[in-house]
Amino acid sequence: MINIQSLLSEAKKELINSSVISAEIDSEILLSNVLKVKRDKLIINSQKTVNVKNIKKFNSFIERRKKKEPIAYILNKKDFWKSTFFVDKNVLIPRPDTEILIEQVLKKYQKNKKISILDVGTGSGCIIISILKERENFMGCAIDISKKALNIAKYNAKIHHLENRIKFHKSSVDKFFKGKYDLIISNPPYIKKFELKYLENDIIGFEPNLALEGGNDGFLVTKQVIKGSSRLLKKGGSLIMEIGFDQKMRIKKILEKENFFVNKIIKDYGENHRCVICTKF
């Protein structure tokens, strides 16, 4: 018979041996998910025994975490903004910094507005779904070049009851010609190819390259998004996009060349320039 306490301390040791820095919290998160209880309940019930089925499941999770697989992929879920999204290795794990995009959209467009939004490179669908849940008059369209990502975004739209308000298309932005939009949002891959190797193992070993890499200079996809948006936006429409921490100056130049007026560039929680808001004139 193994109780919660000894299961956790054993798992913690194993994770530390595999140099997982967040060993304690990771073990607790994984076990609380296996037992389907809140994390604080683990401490209160530390002497309770765990059945064999759950021990096996927990140990298999720990084995995966030892290989640096992100918790979000192990549990197939990630919280973003006010919702939980299904994720697997085919989509980028939603990041807290990306919530700045949502904040900016909600600030700019009040509740009674009726607008149409295009999400370029929707991945898990976390951005468009979070926005549409907050604004019942908005209509959405989401595109991605990955069929597998698109299926996940569709699934997320379904569990959040938005399947009737978001249209999905498998397409890159430069080959997409359907409709004109009031707002385009995007979190494109913007990491330079040679810098990928400096990312943590959890990221580079597991998250899709397609969702991370922005070519040699990091601007390959971003430029396509800007060009495509210039064509797909209504006059006076806006583009709200995530950028890399060192891309501010160049992004301004590219946007101005493509007939955008840069309204503002917002910093993230780590004080990095992260979100650009601009208008097509």
Binding site for ligand GLN (CB under 6 A): 92, 94, 98, 121-124, 126-127, 187-189, 211
> Do residues 127 and 134 lie in contact, with contact meaning Cβ atoms separated by under 8 Å?
no
Contacts of 101 (CB under 8 A, 6+ apart): 127, 185, 187, 240, 241, 242, 275
Closer to ligand GLN at the Cβ: 57 or 167?
167
The enclosing H or E element of 134 equals: helix 126-134
Residue 252 CB, shortest distance to ligand GLN, in Å, is 21
Sign of CA dihedral 18, 24, 26, 29: positive
Closer to ligand GLN at the Cβ: 9 or 209?
209
CA–CA separation, 1 and 59 (whole Å)? 15
Pseudo-torsion of CA 105, 106, 110, 112, nearest 10°? Answer: 100
Report angle CA 271, 273, 274 to the nearest 5 degrees.
105
Strand partners, 143: 120, 169
Closer to ligand GLN at the Cβ: 8 or 143?
143
Residue 144 CB, shortest distance to ligand GLN, in Å, is 8
Residue 142 CB, shortest distance to ligand GLN, in Å, is 9
Closer to ligand GLN at the Cβ: 31 or 218?
218
- 10-23 burial: b if 16+ Cβ within 10 Å, else e: ebbebbeeeebeeb
Residue 62 CB, shortest distance to ligand GLN, in Å, is 27
Residue 222 CB, shortest distance to ligand GLN, in Å, is 10
Name the closest residue to ligand GLN (Cβ): 123
Which tokens sit at 51? 């059945």
Closer to ligand GLN at the Cβ: 130 or 238?
130
The enclosing H or E element of 174 equals: none
Closer to ligand GLN at the Cβ: 11 or 189?
189
Closer to ligand GLN at the Cβ: 50 or 100?
100
DSSP string, 47-100: TSB--HHHHHHHHHHHHHHHTT--HHHHHT-EEETTEEE---TTSPPP-GGGHH
Residue 121 CB, shortest distance to ligand GLN, in Å, is 5
Q: Could you count the other beta carbons within 10 Å of the beta carbon of residue 184?
A: 25
> Do residues 76 and 87 lie in contact, with contact meaning Cβ atoms separated by under 8 Å?
yes
SS3 106: helix
Residue 207 CB, shortest distance to ligand GLN, in Å, is 8
Closer to ligand GLN at the Cβ: 27 or 122?
122
Residue 188 CB, shortest distance to ligand GLN, in Å, is 6
